[in-house]
Structure 1
Amino acid sequence: MSLIHHPLGFHFDNSFVRLGEAFSRPVMPTAVSGPSLIVFNEALAYQLGGKPYSADYLSCFSGNALPEGAKPISQVYAGHQFGSFNPQLGDGRAVLLGEVLSPRGKRFDLQLKGAGITPFSRGGDGRAALGPVLREYLMSEAMHALGVPTTRALAAVTTGEQVWRERAFPGAILTRIASSHIRIGTFEYFARKGARNEVKVLADHVITRHYPECLSASNPYLALFDCVADAQAQLVAKWMSLGFVHGVMNTDNASICGQTIDYGPCAFVDAFSESASFSSIDTGGRYAYGRQGSIIQWNLARFAECLLYLFDDDINRAVSLAERRLADFPALFDRYWYALMSDKLGLSKGAPDATTDLCANLVKDLLMLMERGSADFTLSFRCLSLGLKSGDFTPFEALFSDLEVVEVRHWVVRWKEALLLMGLVDREIAENMLNVNPSIIPRNHQVEKALAEALEAYDSKSDEQVFPYFNKMIKALNTPYCIEHDGGLLAASPLNGGAGYRTFCGT
């Protein structure tokens, strides 16, 4: 049975559907019994060309109707999950309604997550629970405000129905926006089947959609690999500069366009540790904080394998080209990483090269002291910035255990000497630092508090679903660098430094 189409104002142009049936399957979202709006991202809807909010949005975002021009599909892909290859995954609970062209001509996928069974559900119910939907909404919008390339959240609704995991939870649906949902795993699906023509069709589509500069390159597919590697290096370096741990860096979660996608078991580091790992299913720490750079290199090696026959007709030359680029990746990643960390320390403005020994050694030594002293990652850089502005580094020193304070003071002297050497003015550089070192992030314990409140409010069966703490966090996290947040509840670290915190996938 076809669904009613509502004119939401979006201009659809569904290029992925035109690639052919090998790449996706048509599927209708499954209607729900009692949808109710939790949150609507009005500013994002306006950027996409949407109309002001009306009940039509609720109908479409719950799967009970379709936006005018939508051609709903679920995409097929494969993926390496914790190093083991799964030959077919696909959108098991997501329906891509179509591609929206914004008033500025940019193309975005409009997807419902938790919209019911698809051809790739693999025995699952295709639904999502309220907690994971709110987590992704909050996390993705916070990451956007922090300047991290990411999928966005347009809306979240409850369905009026229950989903069963270890127990019954209220059902919900997230409306997600992305530059695209094409993954390294999408390429793997076709490459492992030996479907070279489909790999080429997909590569050409990605070049046209995301990296048109590759069209003029002498080897467009090698240029495509370089662009994807560069985007991934920038993305993961940005994650780590903020203390973010994705938690499930499988190749099916590695976006070709370089956006953060899927926020299941993610978390932010509180007390700093290179080995910080929060996901309950990452028992070996494969995706721990300090391993994220090497993991994305591993994922890129899988991407290169998919493209070998496009790199060169001679397989030996193709392998050599891929190996050289993969060998160069650690240096590429380090350039982005040290540039970001030099920004956080106020050093990049005067440094001709952000990876100079001076900057790199100060970064390494500070992180070592933070780990030894169990210092909070976010507060360390924020308090250092505030200390440079005020001249009082006592709050910064207080973040470390007593055993490290003398070494911390010595490090501050070295750092200030470096600023002086580069001719940088304290007050000016302090303002720059405050603009890159956030006052607040989505603290793990605060996120859990917001989700617990939402579940309690839903279970109370109030006529109006109002989640005040969730809304308070959304509003505050929209301005993460604002000095008004300093010293407030949302800026505080947990009492135990976040020890023992665990996240769960939510599927």
Structure 2
Amino acid sequence: MTIPTPLLQPARFAALPAVFYRATAPTSLHSPRLVIANAALAHELELDEAQLGAPDNLALFCGNALPAHGLPLATRYGGHQFGVWAGQLGDGRALLLGDRACPNGQSVEVQLKGAGVTPFSRMGDGRAVLRSSIREYLASEAMQALGIPTTRALLLATSDDAVYRERPETAAVLTRVAPSFIRFGHFELLYHQGQHDEIRQLADFVIDQYLPACREASQPYQALFAEVVARTASLMAQWQAVGFCHGVMNSDNMSILGLTLDYGPFGFLDGLNLAHICNHSDHSGRYAYNQQPQIALWNLYCLASSFLPLVTEPELRAELDRYDGLYQAAYLARFRAKLGLVTECKEDAALISSLLHTLHAYHTDFTLFFRALAEFDTAAGSDSASVLDLLVDREAGLHWLARYRTRLMQETRTQKARQQAMHAVNPAYVLRNHLAEQAIRLACDEGDYGEIARLARCLANPFSEQAEFASYAALPPEWAAALAVSCSS
């Protein structure tokens, strides 16, 4: 069935040669039903949220109908997975429906995840399961509210169709939105297959569509690579500052625009473990929390190889050598803000490191500690119970707080201004695993989607105390420690 729709335009990506994609028909879901629609994003895209779940639109957004301009696209890319070149991968369960024009004159890509087999499914069924789709819907919007670059979620649909993983599960289709879903792996595959002209075409496309300032540089392709390095370094600092662990930082899961892409086995830290591994399948800890910044650099080296037909090796190395400095500057800026510091002191790095190792020693809750720290009173002899109560080793806590008090004395802001600033960057709410799990169990076991909507409403305002969601800001229950998230979705 083909329906006329004013919602979408042909994808800009389709202007590239056919080597970059395959036109692919989606696989229908039987009797689809709406799980949740994103009112805020719909408003940003000038869509009527109430109409997203209407039969014709729901059919479009779950793969049961085609956009008026024709077949969706499955894009072609490769990647390094767990440090090993995996060859051609591609959109195994994602289809690019088209573009949506935004009020600001820009356009975004609209993509279905879980809409069936594509030419790149590699023996898979092309489906997504409701469990992981709920996690991605909630996480991407939570990251957006935290101010971290990310893909977005517009709509989640499901049906009674069965999908088989370790056990039968419920099928789902997630409608995702982003300026672009182009990955490092799009460039990598072209390089490994000797398609150097196509690398240039893709680089030109990225510059012209998304980063036009690079065209004004004396060496546009070097400027493009430099921009990717800078955006990636900034993204890693933002992840570290909120305790976000991606779980599968393969190069095919890295966005060329510096977006958080592909929410598989991700997680937010509860008790701080600097070596926390959120992916049950990551047996070596390659993508542990404290490894993420250097893994991002490793992936940038992979991307740099793909730019060799466009940029000289010394020029690429010069940009790669800037990564550590860019990351450290962004990291320190983020953590200074978390500590309520405006000025810069050379001792700040040591102060931050000392704090994190103190929290790590006893797995102090990452989110709760930084939120409580805003209430710290700089007056000598003041009651620091709200902070100390979160620390097992009170003596170590008192020692660090004494250093922190001394450092705060170098600031000029009032205590009230500092507290307000800290509350604006230290969230009260993050998508903890047990919160997502509670919503998933209700949805999958009872067909109750209310908790998804309630949790999404809370996470949309992560920095504001909300009495109705007080339980979401509490320490996780003991059973949460046994939750395991893997690549199976």
TM-score range, shorter chain: over 0.9
Contact 1:6 1:60 in 2 (8 A): no
**TM-score normalized by the length of structure 1:** 0.92
Q: CA offset at residue 389 of structure 1?
A: 9.6
5 Å-filtered alignment, 1:81-92, equals 81-92=81-92
Stretch deviating more after TM superposition (386-395 or 416-425) = 386-395
Alpha-carbon displacement from aligned partner over 1:369-415 (angstroms, at most 9, x marks no partner) = 101122100011001013349964212111111xx212211222221
| Residue identity matched to 2:463 | Y
Q: How many residues align?
A: 484
Q: CA offset at residue 490 of structure 1?
A: 0.4
5 Å-filtered alignment, 1:24-39, equals 24-39=21-36
Q: What's the secondary structure of 1:155's corresponding residue?
A: strand
Aligned match of 1:415: 404
Q: 1:100 to 1:397 in 2, by over 3 A?
A: same
5 Å-filtered alignment, 1:425-440, equals 425-440=414-429
Contact 1:77 1:185 in 2 (8 A): yes
Alpha-carbon displacement from aligned partner over 1:331-353 (angstroms, at most 9, x marks no partner) = 11010011000000010x2x1x4
Q: CA offset at residue 10 of structure 1?
A: 2.5
Q: CA offset at residue 308 of structure 1?
A: 1.3
Counterpart-to-counterpart distance in 1, 2:166 and 2:461 = 36
Give unmatched runs, 5+ long, in structure 2.
none
Alpha-carbon displacement from aligned partner over 1:46-67 (angstroms, at most 9, x marks no partner) = 3223245132221111211133
**TM-score normalized by the length of structure 2:** 0.95
Aligned match of 1:47: 44
Q: 1:420 to 1:389 in 2, by over 3 A?
A: closer
2:394 maps to 1:394: no
Q: What's the secondary structure of 1:153's corresponding residue?
A: strand
Counterpart-to-counterpart distance in 1, 2:11 and 2:115 = 19
| Residue identity matched to 2:339 | L
2:345 maps to 1:342: no
5 Å-filtered alignment, 1:65-464, equals 65-69=65-69, 71-311=71-311, 318-347=312-341, 349=342, 351=343, 353=344, 356-388=345-377, 392-401=383-392, 404-458=393-447
Counterpart-to-counterpart distance in 2, 1:389 and 1:164 = 57
Q: 1:388 to 1:451 in 2, by over 3 A?
A: farther
| Residue identity matched to 2:176 | R
Contact 2:8 2:98 in 1 (8 A): no
Q: What's the secondary structure of 1:365's corresponding residue?
A: helix
Contact 1:439 1:486 in 2 (8 A): no
Q: CA offset at residue 496 of structure 1?
A: 4.3
Alpha-carbon displacement from aligned partner over 1:116-155 (angstroms, at most 9, x marks no partner) = 1111111111111110111100111111111111110000
Q: CA offset at residue 35 of structure 1?
A: 0.5
Counterpart-to-counterpart distance in 2, 1:278 and 1:188 = 26
| Residue identity matched to 2:335 | M
Q: CA offset at residue 329 of structure 1?
A: 1.1
Aligned match of 2:473: 491
Q: CA offset at residue 327 of structure 1?
A: 2.2
Contact 2:364 2:391 in 1 (8 A): yes
Q: 1:120 to 1:400 in 2, by over 3 A?
A: same
Q: CA offset at residue 486 of structure 1?
A: 9.8
Q: 1:495 to 1:46 in 2, by over 3 A?
A: closer
Alpha-carbon displacement from aligned partner over 1:430-460 (angstroms, at most 9, x marks no partner) = 10000100001011111111111111113xx
| Identity of matched residues, % | 38
Q: CA offset at residue 268 of structure 1?
A: 0.8
